[in-house]
A and B are shown apart, each in its own frame.
Chain A
């Protein structure tokens, strides 16, 4: 896979200003995403993965959030653009599949019009053309009777249908990057797999890259080329999916994999991770996973481990990684 870099995030810091100090939601994140690549960002709630997505879209209110770093998308630094330039990128070049389709569609407009609005407003198509394309798109994402459903209001559709509409809105203008923010966690378990499959299909059709934000390693394993593990605002490990699943080199990744039930290792019980995500107002010194880490040593509190490429294309932020490599997973 020798492809261009679509997204290059360098040392991104996103701090929320509060009266008690800064909440370090994203704290020095660096990674690259190639064209057509699908990367999952995996982490517990509070790990900063959604904040990261918001920062990419520049949706934070600058008076409440401190942002530093570089987000180079398609050759331009998104953080240096003004609001007007950013508006042109949103929806056209980067789009989001929302977490909860039940609240992400405007209740007072028919769903078809909400798709068509993009074509009319961002591409200046005539109402008729916009409607035709929208109906085709609705058929593509598997909405039966699309001509009629075009006039349905969001409350008349099921959650799965609404997410199909949301997906069609996200892919409508064939963006280069699609950010999927836990696109299935608000859905019924029975439709999750189908929605995920559909999303993957259309993303490949459109030829976009995708950032899949999820707390579900199962979802990540299913859809992604690469997996990025985040914890307390930091990236702990990035590698190709097979590599990271076969040979996780960070204790946290290992712990995460241990809480996913797997069928082929039926004798193994699940091991919950003790403790909880640290307070991001005053994170622990050194490695942030230290308080919960089974492999910790004295050096871990003294120096914060940097993300380094320990093996070919396998990045880990842990000073104990070589020990883990010896321990069989």
Chain B
């Protein structure tokens, strides 16, 4: 792992991505302390002000400080992203492992269900789930998380098939270790690299997905300063006060870019075939 970190710090894109990711995580953790104003504090007298020294990113239609709202909003984006990816991974990876390891008719059924789920675009699936479950933070997380499950199943199964036929797994079997132990102690650690890459990339798409649903009014509900919701409510003022949409959009862009840069850097580093000299 130290080797990975060393290579990551030497990798330009990876380093930038890592900085953005760490920066946004720290921002989210400290958001209670570093917002210049209360992000919920409305005052119509200062509504729709352009960026100034007092309000560096301007104010929104209710006079709330946009910088504070963006800082505070990072908590929503990152929390939704991490928990939904965790849900997808914690359900998808074990299913993929078991499906790939045992094979047979169970594998066949699991893979056909995965095919069906993969055929649906993630955002459509999430939309449908939110429509069923109703809006709200928990439901949003579940809806996005479920969308990730088939990808984890497919990816995990693929790499499990690869590792399963390795001689050291056959050797573990010859030593009389139980299947459970072989799956989780011997196969899982060997397939972590591709899974790590996928986890990182999924965080980016989870943030985007959450923002998309927020924009449509199906995600985090106003007055909470979720970035997508901010863009959604700000879009009515896009000609009079474009900063309402611009700055949350930039924040979204930057954080997703960070995770994607980190993800593809990890992919290059962890897959020796893509490693550049």
Interface residues of A (CB under 8 A from B): 57, 59, 63, 86-92, 95-96, 98, 100, 103-109, 117-118, 121-122, 166, 169
Asked if A92 and B168 make an inter-chain contact with CB atoms under 8 angstroms apart, the answer reads no
Asked if B171 and A104 make an inter-chain contact with CB atoms under 8 angstroms apart, the answer reads yes
**CB contact between B190 and one of A100, A103, A108, A117 (< 8 Å): that residue:** A108
Interface residues of B (CB under 8 A from A): 104, 166-178, 181, 186, 189-190
A-B contact pairs, 6 of them (CB 8 A): A88-B176, A90-B173, A91-B177, A96-B171, A96-B174, A121-B181
Asked if B176 and A87 make an inter-chain contact with CB atoms under 8 angstroms apart, the answer reads yes
The 9 A-B pairs of least Cβ separation, nearest first, read A90-B176, A91-B176, A91-B175, A103-B167, A108-B189, A106-B168, A104-B171, A96-B174, A104-B167
CA–CA, A113 to B18, complex, Å? 33
B190 partner residues in chain A, CB cutoff 8 A:
106-108
Q: Chain B: which residue is nearest A57 at the CB level?
A: B174
Q: Assess A92 versus B176: contact at CB under 8 Å? Given A106-B190, A107-B190.
A: yes
Q: Chain B: which residue is nearest A109 at the CB level?
A: B189
**CB contact between A95 and one of B104, B168, B174 (< 8 Å): that residue:** B174
Q: Assess A106 versus B172: contact at CB under 8 Å? Given A98-B167, A100-B167, A121-B181.
A: yes
B177 partner residues in chain A, CB cutoff 8 A:
87, 91, 117, 121
In the assembled complex, how far is the CB of residue B217 from the closest CB belonging to chain A, in whole angstroms?
46
CA–CA, A100 to B168, complex, Å? 10
CA–CA, A103 to B163, complex, Å? 11
In the assembled complex, how far is the CB of residue B53 from the closest CB belonging to chain A, in whole angstroms?
54
B189 partner residues in chain A, CB cutoff 8 A:
108-109
B171 partner residues in chain A, CB cutoff 8 A:
96, 98, 104-105, 166
Asked if A107 and B168 make an inter-chain contact with CB atoms under 8 angstroms apart, the answer reads yes
In the assembled complex, how far is the CB of residue B159 from the closest CB belonging to chain A, in whole angstroms?
13
CA–CA, A89 to B173, complex, Å? 11
Q: Assess A105 versus B168: contact at CB under 8 Å? Given A63-B104, A121-B181.
A: yes
A98 partner residues in chain B, CB cutoff 8 A:
167, 171
CA–CA, A100 to B167, complex, Å? 8
CA–CA, A57 to B171, complex, Å? 11
A90 partner residues in chain B, CB cutoff 8 A:
173-176
In the assembled complex, how far is the CB of residue B61 from the closest CB belonging to chain A, in whole angstroms?
54
**CB contact between B175 and one of A100, A107, A118 (< 8 Å): that residue:** A118
CA–CA, A166 to B181, complex, Å? 19
CA–CA, A117 to B171, complex, Å? 13
**CB contact between A59 and one of B166, B170, B178, B186 (< 8 Å): that residue:** B170
A92 partner residues in chain B, CB cutoff 8 A:
176
Q: Chain B: which residue is nearest A84 at the CB level?
A: B178
CA–CA, A169 to B172, complex, Å? 10
In the assembled complex, how far is the CB of residue B97 from the closest CB belonging to chain A, in whole angstroms?
15
Asked if A87 and B170 make an inter-chain contact with CB atoms under 8 angstroms apart, the answer reads no
Asked if B174 and A87 make an inter-chain contact with CB atoms under 8 angstroms apart, the answer reads no
B172 partner residues in chain A, CB cutoff 8 A:
106
Q: Chain A: which residue is nearest B166 at the CB level?
A: A103
- Residue from A91, A100, A105 with most neighbouring chain B CB atoms (10 Å): A91
In the assembled complex, how far is the CB of residue A90 from the closest CB belonging to chain B, in whole angstroms?
3
Asked if B176 and A104 make an inter-chain contact with CB atoms under 8 angstroms apart, the answer reads no
CA–CA, A106 to B166, complex, Å? 9
**CB contact between B168 and one of A86, A88, A104, A118 (< 8 Å): that residue:** A104
Asked if B174 and A91 make an inter-chain contact with CB atoms under 8 angstroms apart, the answer reads yes
A107 partner residues in chain B, CB cutoff 8 A:
168, 190
CA–CA, A106 to B187, complex, Å? 9
A57 partner residues in chain B, CB cutoff 8 A:
174
In the assembled complex, how far is the CB of residue B202 from the closest CB belonging to chain A, in whole angstroms?
23
In the assembled complex, how far is the CB of residue B48 from the closest CB belonging to chain A, in whole angstroms?
57
In the assembled complex, how far is the CB of residue B50 from the closest CB belonging to chain A, in whole angstroms?
55
CA–CA, A64 to B189, complex, Å? 28
In the assembled complex, how far is the CB of residue A152 from the closest CB belonging to chain B, in whole angstroms?
15
In the assembled complex, how far is the CB of residue A83 from the closest CB belonging to chain B, in whole angstroms?
8
Q: Assess A89 versus B176: contact at CB under 8 Å? Given A63-B104, A107-B190, A121-B181.
A: yes
B186 partner residues in chain A, CB cutoff 8 A:
106
In the assembled complex, how far is the CB of residue A183 from the closest CB belonging to chain B, in whole angstroms?
13
Asked if A169 and B173 make an inter-chain contact with CB atoms under 8 angstroms apart, the answer reads no
A63 partner residues in chain B, CB cutoff 8 A:
104
In the assembled complex, how far is the CB of residue A91 from the closest CB belonging to chain B, in whole angstroms?
3
- Residue from B104, B167, B176, B177 with most neighbouring chain A CB atoms (10 Å): B176
Asked if B175 and A59 make an inter-chain contact with CB atoms under 8 angstroms apart, the answer reads no
Q: Chain A: which residue is nearest B175 at the CB level?
A: A91
Given A86-B176, A91-B176; 16 other pairs, CB 8 A cutoff: A57-B174, A59-B173, A90-B173, A91-B177, A92-B176, A95-B175, A96-B174, A98-B167, A98-B171, A103-B166, A104-B167, A106-B190, A107-B168, A109-B189, A166-B171, A169-B175
